[in-house]
Amino acid sequence: MFRIVTLFSTYVVLAIGLSSCSPAKESAPHNVQLKNAIGQKLMLDFRYFCHDDSASDECQQAVTELPDELAQVLSSGAIGGVILFAENIESIPQTMTLIDSMQQVMKANDLPPLFIALDQEGGRVARLPDSMATRFSGNMAIGATYPVHATEFAEKIGRGIGRAVKLLGFNVNFAPTVDVNVNPQNPVINVRSYGEHPATVAALGQATVRAMQAEGVMSALKHFPGHGDTHTDSHTGLPRVAHDRATVDAVDLLPFAKSIASNAPPAMIMTAHIQYPELDDTTFISTDGEPRVVPATMSRKILTQVLRDELGYQGVVITDALDMAGIAHYFDPLAATLQTFKAGADIALMPYTIRNNADIEGFWQFFDGLTQAAQQGELDNNALQASAERIAALKASYQIDTSSMPALAQRIADAEQQLPLAENKQLERELAAAAVTQVYDRGVLPVRSTRWQLIMPDNLRCRAFQQALMTQQPNSTSRCLSLSELPKGAPWQQWDKNATLVIGDITPHHSLAEMGGMDDLNNWRDRPSKAAQHDWIRQALVAANAQQQTTIVVALRAPYMLSQFQAISDAGIASYDYSTHPLPHEPLHGNGQTQLHAPSIEAVVAVLLGADARGQLPVTVGAVQAK
């Protein structure tokens, strides 16, 4: 603890020193202090790095151990933090060794320990493999349990995620998402939200923050001032929220305001790359020469006047990734970072992409540009001082210095023995069962038939449904058709007319946030048409109705899609989740296929066969109101 307090004191002195020297009377120590303070305000991603100098946009060599070149960036830049992605994570020993090697670089150079961050929201955004940590069903599933269970699941899951990521060496989790999803067409938030009621979102978000931080993991509440009413993904464009100020206060800001005012405020708040003209209608000229309303990440009115002054937030403000199109299409990296610092952000997340040695050279030019801006007064020294104090105080308060921890070998042994946490796996099943929601039923539930015709989004979901049916209804027979490619002709002509038709749908498609980020842009663009899938599903339902088959539609992701098919199907069920992964070394009924872990799909099958559907809609679906 002494070292941590000393480290904190040293960096407060460093910060205070920033305002004591004018640009005309700079000293070498002042320059070092200034550069170190700038470095602490940067959180980099080391997702890929190619030693052969492959082009940045072609480099796919995952960083699973720390290269000397990146170690040098950390130490020479006094970098404040690193975010890891799924590509950085192969196993428990490898992940913990990678994290420890980065922390040891900082320790050896007498620099503050790093923020080591990840996006482990649960549900569709989870960077850790299921063999290491439990994914859970996600926030909208938690929202579906709120009328019966209040904040019970939010608290338990926040605690469970916190315990798991801390065992691996992470100290920051970019979660929870407290965007109020009032737009059914939202392409990036949807099931990542707890629902459409601001008070419910506030209660569940606050409970998650409190529980996670009680486990020693800093929570970053996101995406301020709210990403819930957008129809554009800020990974691919610049969204705009046109709410009036009364709506902004009552809906978008409410979850943030409640958490900030609580006795366990979030350690960090992450900004949104979204235009909020009611909060700030200032325009800027983007790199394409067009005037645009400034996004929240770049807005001093929003980050300082609203977040700091009106809401009273005293913690660390971090941007969303600055390589996202909502910023990168309109600013170059240096201009973007300078503007967000001027707006009041403490940390710039992923401000400069490093994928090869040429990028490292470019990074140092970028870094020098930040330093020169501070030296020349473009960045306010008092603001830099206050920011340095907040960052240092946060690192000290969470005691993230590895000096006080057991040896790495012991930590790895402890993590391997405990992960994935058994209590989290049990909690995952409990949440899945508590969340399943019966949205409508024309008297066909529970299903008495033992013959099933399944239509699923892909082969993995086919296997998961069939496995669940074999387990829960051993005398059943089923056939499954995958929609990974749309079938040709009229396959319904071959269906058993006495079989119950169950159609599972995943809408909307994965967003870039779920896939990992901007490096996945090409795969994101190559996805099949969801409209074409829904047209085919509509034809299948009409044909099945003509054959007098029982028809059930299951929303495996956002429940909004059920409104499209309510008039032509007998029942609609929402699970909010479709997570499925293999359990190695457990063959299924001797057929040689690996046993699958799919708690949400198992819970859906249980409801089809007669279990109570205890979940209640956290969002409005057609004429069915949220509870």
Active-site residue numbers?
320
Report the distance separating Cα 158 and Cα 467, nearest Å: 30
Classify residue 258 as left (phi > 0), alpha (psi -120 to 50) or beta.
alpha
SS3 606: helix
**Contact 295/272 with Cβ under 8 angstroms?**
yes
What does DSSP say about strands 125-126 and 268-271: parallel, antiparallel, or unpaired? Answer: unpaired
Which has the closest alpha carbon to 248: 301, 308, 198?
198
Classify residue 410 as left (phi > 0), alpha (psi -120 to 50) or beta.
alpha
Which has the closest alpha carbon to 69: 367, 361, 333?
361
Q: 209 Cβ partners below 8 Å, 6+ apart?
A: 158, 176, 219, 221, 259, 262, 264, 265, 266
Phi then psi for residue 121, to 5 deg, are -70, -30
Written as one string, the DSSP assignment of 165-201 is HHHHT--EE---B------TT-SSSGGGSS-S-HHHH
Report the distance separating Cα 119 and Cα 128, nearest Å: 9
Angle at 297 between CA 291 and CA 303, to 5 degrees: 115
Compute the CA torsion angle 289, 293, 298, 300 (nearest 10 deg).
130
Report the distance separating Cα 184 and Cα 186, nearest Å: 6
Q: 612 Cβ partners below 8 Å, 6+ apart?
A: none
Which has the closest alpha carbon to 333: 373, 305, 303, 293?
373
Q: 626 Cβ partners below 8 Å, 6+ apart?
A: 195, 196, 197, 616, 617, 618, 619, 620
Paired tokens of 80: 């404040």
Q: What helix, strand, coil percent values describe the chain, rounded to 5?
A: 45, 15, 40
Written as one string, the DSSP assignment of 290-351 is -EEEPBGGG-HIIIIIIIIIIT---SEEEPSPTTSHHHHTTS-HHHHHHHHHHHT-SBEES-
What does DSSP say about strands 571-574 and 551-555: parallel, antiparallel, or unpaired? Answer: parallel
